[in-house]
Amino acid sequence: MRHHAKGVAVITAGLDVPAGFCATSLTSVSLDPPMVSFTVGRGASAWSTVEQAEHVVVHLLAEDQEELALRFARSGAPRFGPATRWHRGALGLPVLDDVLAWLAVALVRVVPAGDHALVLGSVVATGPGAGHAPRRPARPLVHHDGVFGGFAPPAAAPERAVG
Span 93-145, pLDDT tens digits: 999 999 999 999 999 999 999 999 999 999 999 987 644 455 556 889 988 87
Residue 77 lies in a domain: yes
In a domain, 1, yes or no: no
Indicate whether 155 belongs to any domain: no
How much is the pLDDT for 131? 44
In a domain, 131, yes or no: yes
pLDDT at residue 40 greater than cutoff 60? yes
CA distances from 88 to 35, 65, 111, 126 (A): 23, 20, 28, 15
pLDDT cut 90: percent of the chain above it:
71
* Amino acid 104: pLDDT: 97
Question: Residue 157: what pLDDT?
Answer: 57
**Banded pLDDT at 76 (limits 50, 70, 90):** confident
Residue 28 has pLDDT above 50, yes or no: yes
CATH number at residue 138: 2.30.110.10
Burial class (CB in 10 A: 0-12, 13-18, 19+), 58: buried
Judge whether 81 lies within some domain.
yes
CA distance 53 to 101: 21
